[in-house]
Amino acid sequence: MGEKAEKSPDGVKYFRLSEIEAQNSFKSTWIIIHNKVYDVTKFLDEHPGGEEVLREQAGGNATESFEDVGHSTDAREMAASMMIGELHPDDRHKISKPVVTCLVTSPFLSCSWWSTLILPTLAAAIVTLIYRIYTAE
Ligand code: HEM
């Protein structure tokens, strides 16, 4: 009870995360991208990126993988035609990741926890090394 699909005030169908997670088979494959729910069952063997990548995300949050690929506008329009509803607002926190504060940004690295830790540490180590060499004599 309570954990059933509902409609938002503007008529969008809301799915609970538990309902979406159950759609992870060949018979029915749903994925979540930006809190929207897509039924990609019929699209599996048409996907230019292959069905395997979609099946790996089945029943779960595919937002990051979808954006990492840098899908075209065409791809986004195709996705829109497969949208069947949205993740229930009360379940959205369950799939969102904690926000990483980016201390160091570099064009070669994306902001990740290790780059924010390793880069400053490495920089400090190099400065210390140079300082030691200059003050050795
Ligand atoms: C409804 C969702 C999706 C649609 C409509 C879609 C559609 C497409 C389309 C049309 C392309 C061709 C390139 C382009 O136009 O950007 C493509 C490529 C690709 N897609 Fe998707 N995609 C979806 C979801 C995903 C997800 C969730 C993943 C990863 C888990 C993924 C992984 C890829 C990869 C790796 C390629 C690149 C293939 C290559 O360049 O050889 N796609 N997709």
* Weakest mean pLDDT among 20-24, 43-47, 50-54, 118-122: 118-122
Q: Is the CB of 54 under 6 A from ligand 1?
A: yes
Atom of ligand 1 nearest to the CA of 53: 30
Other residues' Cβ atoms within 10 Å of the Cβ of residue 132: 9
Atom of ligand 1 nearest to the CA of 62: 27
Report the pLDDT value the prediction gives residue 82, as an integer from 0 to 100.
97
Average pLDDT over residues 14-20: 97
Distances in Å between the Cα of 48 and the Cα atoms of 1, 51, 54, 62, 97 are 40, 8, 11, 16, 28
CATH of domain 7-99: 3.10.120.10
- Whether 86 contacts 13, CB under 8 Å: yes
Pocket test for ligand 1, best of 31, 47, 51, 72 (most atoms within 8 A of CB): 47
Average predicted confidence (pLDDT) for the chain: 88
Report the pLDDT value the prediction gives residue 14, as an integer from 0 to 100.
96
Distance 137 CA to ligand 1 centre (A): 60
Report the pLDDT value the prediction gives residue 49, as an integer from 0 to 100.
96
Q: Round to whole Å and give the CA distance between 33 and 20.
A: 12
